[in-house]
Amino acid sequence: MIKKISLDNYGKFRNERFDFGAFTMVYGPNEAGKTTLFDALFEAACAAAPKRGQVWARLASRYGEDRKARASGAVPAFGDAVEFLELFAIRAGQISVDAEKGGSWAEAAKNSLYRHGYNPAEIAGKLEKRASVSNATRHQKNLNRLNSDLAETREKAALLRSQETAIAAAKTGLAASEADIAALENKKSVLAAELAAAGGRLDDYKKIRALHQGLRDRDLVAGAIQAEKKLAEVSGCNAEALKEYDLLADKIAAAERGVAEISGTINATLDTIGKLDGEKASLLESQRVARRIADAAQRLLPELEKITRPGQAAGPEPRPPAGLRYGIWGFGAAGAALGLYMAKNGPLGYVLAAFFAAAAVALDRYLFRAADLPAGLAAGPASLAAVYDQWVNLGFARVDIERDTPAGVMEAALNLKAMARSWDIAVENNRKDGLAARAALKELNDKSITLAEDKDACAAAARKWLAGAGCPDRDGYLSRANLRQSLAGETARNSARIKELLELEKCSGPASLITLLDSRVKELEGAGVRVRPDYERDMATQENRVIALSAERAELEEELGRRKIERENLSVTFNKDLARVPETLNALCRREYDLEQEIAADALARSGAELAAGVYREIEADSSRKFEGLAREVGILLARVLPLSDLHIGSLSLESVALKDAGGAMRALDDLSSGTRDCFMLAARLTLAAAARGAEPGLMLLDDPFPALDAPRRAAALTMLRHFQRETGWQLIIFTKDKTLLAEVEGDPQVTICQLV
Amino acid sequence: MLRILHASDLHLTSGPDREYGLEVLRELVCLANSRQADFLLLCGDLFDSFKDLKENSLLNSVRQEVQLLRAGCRALYIPGNHEDIGRGPKDRLSSFDLGRLELMTDAAAACGGKTLETPEAEFICVPHSSDYSGYRKWQLPPKAPGRARLLLMHGTSSAVYRGPDQEEQQAGVIPDSLFAWLEADYAALGHVHSARETLIGGTLAVYCGSARVWRKWEDGPRKAVFFETEGGKIGARQDLFIKAAGEYRYFTLPVNPDSSILPTAMRELLEKCPAPYRDYIVVRFSGLVEDANALAGLKSVVEGVLRAKNPRRLELLSDQVEIFGGLADNALAKQFLEKLDSRRPAEDSPEMPRWVAARQQGLAALAGDLE
């Protein structure tokens, strides 16, 4: 209880002191300082309040900063200046609770009493809004956006995952491609090895070829040098010059031929001579026989003539003239001579000579042989036998003369006689022929000797010619001529290659070239290269193999290149499309996770808000229940001062309070008289204040509280206040300018009166 | 049959966590030995940086630890993105003596790693790369029938893990189609520190998670994955937890406007950290408080209590606390908190985040700055 308050420089009070009791009435006319004292008491009560609102500023502006109000006694402390003014101070005309925040007084009272200046319902509302799933709320909009982001993110991630799956599915193709490439690479390396080996072998062959070439070139150059020497040796021999020799040789041959021909004729002539000599003996024999026969026939003739015709003697047959015979012989000799002459030019001459000789002999024989035969013997038949006998006696055969008739026999005998003659001719002819033949032979021998001499002369000339050429014979010369020609040809043929070699090897001449080639050959041989007879064939085979392998490799490389491009394309497709997939997917997963976390956090916040809202709603319900309990207390308090019946107080709000008026009608508080309403409000204010303060000592300042009350109601109100003071022990300080009110308490020892002047 | 232990991301360092990392490695070696493992796969980030690798005493210790592996067990190691940190252009992992650790490739090598073939399995070991998109060109032997193909890689696979990169350093992204392309049966992956696995086509892609707690938010027990292969098939996996790694533990501590905390929340926190000396503890304060100084006081008190338990690392975060003057005396706020606290769920209840959110939202709405 505030027992005393000292005011220094407080409004109109410079240094004043006022005393108070439990129930104090401060009386003073207008401008006496009642409000100033009211404010000073208020300031003293709320001096320690943490919440002062605008009230303190108002005090400062009204009374200045240097004001001082010191209260003594057990000053009750209030924590909230505004609340104090609302609950513990009643101003004139403001008996109803002044709801500064615009609410109804009851609501403000409730806030002050049970919500401590807050509105749990309002807070619950805010929290419920936070927990609301309505699309109108900011949170829900944000949540919707998050959910939409999440769905989008999940969709993107699913798409990327399917792409990833596609990679795995495409693995087979790529793996096959890789395997193909690996196989091809392997094949290529095998092929390369084969090719290298083949190339190596080919190189070996090339070395062999180089060796061969070197040897060949070396031999060529050596041969050329040799040929040059030989050529110098045989340079005089040539085929043209040989014609000279050949002419001599021809002459020799012609002479030899002539000699041969003549020799043939000589032989023929010798044959003829031999034949004639042979015939001569036979002819001589035949002549002798024929002469014997003819002699014998001669002996018969007289006999025969006797037999046939006595007197008639058998004469000899007519004969061709002998001059013809000499002509034939001359002709034959002439022909043979001609033939021999011709034989100088060919063998035909010998034939001709032989022919003419033979023809003369044959013709002579033909024409003249019969005439040579001895004439036959004729004998008459009578004496024929004698003739025959005589004939036989002569030593001849009967048959030779035996005929049918004596004439015949006579003829036969004559013939036989004539035959001897023909043999004579034949012998003569033979002798002549022999002479002619011997003459021809001599001639022929002479000719042969001439020819032999010619031949010897020519042969000597030929030998001399050959000796001049330095050759043993023609073949020697010819071979040398041929050698020269072939050497010349060879030199001509080789000169191009040698020239080429000289230029190639930059050698001044064949000698240095051969040295170079020789050293090269030795070098190759030193490196183990050996001449191989069949190297060209093998090398060609090897070359073909290298070419085939190269072609195969090229083909393989082409194939490999194609495969690699194929694989590269495949990889590029993969890489281009999918290289960043894992990172993107990871980022999306993180985003998804973050969104889920955010959504979960929102859900948690929403759920928490819901729970908190429930708690606040509970607090709100509790306070409402308590507030309703107060209504009953107001009724009890009011019933003490007002003779009202059927007081009905539903809750502490003007709308729900109804009283029965004097006329017995139930009327709402607003419709009752202002006095009745003020009494109700006073009771309500006292109840609320008591409830608000609880067990703590209270203070209530009432500034001219009953302006609208009539005297009885004012007295009743005063009674209610005094009852309240007694029951609660609160300090009540009433400020009034109403003397009648002062009069009502004057003399009451329990009322402290403070008069302001 | 092969017994394989798959581990990753030890981030061994010569810094303050040196002994901790070595203890984790030791336990890993013990696990491999106790399971008679034939292979211990270390899928990258074995060292926290190249600088740590170059640190001789650390490398010596690592060699000593790995030396304790049973005779029949081979330790295959691929470098991760962390081995690239601080690596000079001429630095090569292969120039270091790694003892029984078999470096399956050099970090300086180009894409495509080493392939190890055994009668029962073939290991395709791929060093870390910032770009794995060239995997289609990797020359790999054809997969042998009846032989399991195991892929060792280090990187991010969005098919398995799509959250934020738990490391500061970004690693290469592994394309989803890589697994099918390489025909792997089991992809032993490193880089993501939280364990998880997914079947991608015919490949079981497994992040075994980091073997140690390297950073905040790596919650759950640390582990290595143990499995057997038989006839080219991958058998059932078994998680072998690494006790020496401790755990990352995160708590939300609701703060009252007067910077007090609920005694139940604090009690629960202490109950959850019975022996936190290997743990990495992060406590996040949440709520609206009247006074920043009072909040600082609260932090120092909580820190004092927790430090007394000697955790490996401790962080107190107050980024979710808002300062709102006048709130402490606000009767409605008190009333609200009183009512809400009466509904507080257990710390590990799924309702807890909602409750924390309601507390924050309710006070914020009261303070008039509801989000």
Q: What are the start-end ranges of the E strands in B155-246?
A: 186-190, 196-200, 203-207, 223-230, 233-234, 238-241
The whole-number pLDDT of residue B282 equals 92
The whole-number pLDDT of residue A380 equals 46
Q: Evaluate if residue A292 carries a pLDDT over 80.
A: yes
Chain B residue with minimum CA distance to A604 = B354
Q: Which residue has the higher pLDDT, B169 or A89?
A: A89
End-of-domain residue from the set B244, B263, B288: B244
The whole-number pLDDT of residue A361 equals 85
**Total count of domains within chain B:** 2
| Averaged pLDDT, A533-549 | 87
Q: Closest CB to B365: pick one of A123, A164, A589.
A: A123
Considering only CA atoms, which of A489, A488, A472 is closest in space to residue A234?
A: A488
| Averaged pLDDT, B61-79 | 95
The fold of the A2-130+617-755 domain, in CATH, is: Rossmann fold (3.40.50)
Q: Quick check: B15 and B61 in contact, CB under 8 A?
A: no
Q: Evaluate if residue A517 carries a pLDDT over 70.
A: yes
The whole-number pLDDT of residue A567 equals 77
The whole-number pLDDT of residue A98 equals 43
The whole-number pLDDT of residue B20 equals 94
Least confident of B26-40, B46-60, B320-334: B320-334
- Asked if B137 reaches chain A (Cβ–Cβ under 8 Å), the answer is yes
| Averaged pLDDT, A556-576 | 78
User: Structure tokens of A82?
Assistant: 């505004």
The answer to whether B371 contacts A605, with C-beta atoms less than 8 Å apart, is yes
Residues 43-62, chain A, touching B (beta carbon < 8 A): 50-51
Interface probe, candidates A615, A619, A625, chain B, greatest B C-beta count within 10 A? A615
- B115 and B137 in one domain? yes
Q: Evaluate if residue A314 carries a pLDDT over 70.
A: no
| Averaged pLDDT, A59-86 | 82
| Averaged pLDDT, B240-250 | 92
pLDDT category, B106, cuts 50, 70, 90? low
Q: Closest CB to A609: pick one of B177, B330, B361.
A: B361
Domain assignment of residue B303, given as a range? 247-367
The answer to whether B355 contacts A586, with C-beta atoms less than 8 Å apart, is no
b or e along A465-474 (b: 16 or more beta carbons within 10 Å of the residue's beta carbon)?
A: bbeebebeeb
- B325 and B271 in one domain? yes
Least confident of A47-61, A152-166, A658-672: A658-672
- B17 and B95 in one domain? yes
Least confident of A11-15, A283-287, B7-11: A283-287
**For residues A149, A151, A153 and A158, what is the CA-based torsion angle, rounded to 10 degrees?**
-170
- Asked if B242 reaches chain A (Cβ–Cβ under 8 Å), the answer is no
Least confident of A474-488, A514-528, B146-160: A474-488
The whole-number pLDDT of residue A49 equals 78
Backbone phi, psi, residue A734, to 5°: -110, 130
Cα–Cα distance measured from residue A37 to residue A45, given in angstroms and rounded to the nearest whole number: 12
- Asked if B176 reaches chain A (Cβ–Cβ under 8 Å), the answer is yes
For chain A, give every domain's residue range.
2-130+617-755, 138-234+517-576, 256-469
Q: Which helix (H) or strand (E) holds B285?
A: strand B280-289
The whole-number pLDDT of residue B64 equals 95
Cα–Cα distance measured from residue A537 to residue A543, given in angstroms and rounded to the nearest whole number: 10
Task: ipTM value, please give it.
Answer: 0.76
CATH of the domain at B126: 3.60.21.10
pLDDT category, B70, cuts 50, 70, 90? very high
| Averaged pLDDT, B44-63 | 94
The whole-number pLDDT of residue A147 equals 92
Across A276-280, A281-285, A598-602, B188-192, which has the greatest mean pLDDT? B188-192
Amino acid letter for position A343? A
The whole-number pLDDT of residue A325 equals 80
- Rg from Cα positions in chain B: 24
Q: Evaluate if residue B235 carries a pLDDT over 80.
A: yes
Considering chain B, what percentage of its residues have pLDDT values greater than 90? 48
- B318 and B221 in one domain? no
Chain B residue with minimum CA distance to A593 = B163
| Averaged pLDDT, A718-743 | 87
Q: Closest CB to B162: pick one of A593, A604, A607.
A: A593
Least confident of A260-269, A307-316, B127-136: A307-316
Considering chain A, what percentage of its residues have pLDDT values greater than 70? 87
Cα–Cα distance measured from residue A178 to residue A99, given in angstroms and rounded to the nearest whole number: 88
Query: What average pLDDT does the structure give for chain A?
Result: 81
Sheet-wide strand order for B203-207: B114-117, B121-125, B148-154, B186-190, B203-207, B196-200
The whole-number pLDDT of residue B29 equals 97
The answer to whether B332 contacts A579, with C-beta atoms less than 8 Å apart, is no
- B131 and B225 in one domain? yes
Q: Which residue has the higher pLDDT, A502 or A52?
A: A502
The answer to whether A612 contacts B331, with C-beta atoms less than 8 Å apart, is no
Q: Evaluate if residue A257 carries a pLDDT over 60.
A: yes
End-of-domain residue from the set B211, B244, B277: B244
Q: Which residue has the higher pLDDT, B77 or A634?
A: B77
pLDDT category, A372, cuts 50, 70, 90? low
Q: Which residue has the higher pLDDT, A223 or B27?
A: B27
Q: Evaluate if residue A382 carries a pLDDT over 70.
A: no
Q: Which helix (H) or strand (E) holds A450?
A: helix A406-469
- B142 and B116 in one domain? yes
Cα–Cα distance measured from residue B76 to residue B122, given in angstroms and rounded to the nearest whole number: 12
Cα–Cα distance measured from residue B229 to residue A206, given in angstroms and rounded to the nearest whole number: 63
The answer to whether A605 contacts B370, with C-beta atoms less than 8 Å apart, is no
- B105 and B13 in one domain? yes
The whole-number pLDDT of residue A285 equals 84
Q: Evaluate if residue A97 carries a pLDDT over 50.
A: no
Q: Which residues contact A298 (CB under 8 A, 6 or more apart)?
A: A374, A417
Cα–Cα distance measured from residue A414 to residue A418, given in angstroms and rounded to the nearest whole number: 6
User: Structure tokens of A515?
Assistant: 């040295």
Instruction: Work out the end-to-end distance of chain B between its first and last CA atoms, rounded to an integer number of angstroms.
Output: 60
- B194 and B52 in one domain? yes
Q: Quick check: A180 and A564 in contact, CB under 8 A?
A: no
Q: Closest CB to B362: pick one of A117, A574, A616.
A: A616
Q: How far is A601 from chain B (nearest CA, A)?
A: 9
End-of-domain residue from the set B225, B244, B263: B244
User: Which residue's structure tokens are 């000396």?
Assistant: B277
pLDDT category, B58, cuts 50, 70, 90? very high
Q: Quick check: B369 and B325 in contact, CB under 8 A?
A: no
- B357 and B217 in one domain? no
Q: Evaluate if residue B236 carries a pLDDT over 80.
A: yes
- Asked if A574 reaches chain B (Cβ–Cβ under 8 Å), the answer is yes
The whole-number pLDDT of residue B138 equals 79
- B182 and B253 in one domain? no
Q: Evaluate if residue B314 carries a pLDDT over 60.
A: yes
The whole-number pLDDT of residue A467 equals 83
Strand, coil or helix: B304: helix
CB pairs under 8 A between A and B: 134
- B130 and B239 in one domain? yes
Instruction: Tell me the chain A residues in contact with residue B359 when contact means C-beta distances shorter than 8 Å.
Output: 608, 612
- Asked if A596 reaches chain B (Cβ–Cβ under 8 Å), the answer is no
Cα–Cα distance measured from residue B324 to residue A42, given in angstroms and rounded to the nearest whole number: 28
| Averaged pLDDT, B60-78 | 95
| Averaged pLDDT, A689-715 | 81
The answer to whether A123 contacts B340, with C-beta atoms less than 8 Å apart, is no
User: Structure tokens of A624?
Assistant: 């409402």
- B83 and B30 in one domain? yes
| Averaged pLDDT, A465-482 | 81
Considering chain A, what percentage of its residues have pLDDT values greater than 90? 6
The whole-number pLDDT of residue B71 equals 94
The whole-number pLDDT of residue B98 equals 93
pLDDT tens-digit readout, A194-223: 889 989 988 888 888 888 888 888 888 888
Q: Evaluate if residue A671 carries a pLDDT over 80.
A: no
pTM metric for this prediction: 0.53
Instruction: Tell me the chain A residues in contact with residue B330 when contact means C-beta distances shorter than 8 Å.
Output: 116, 118
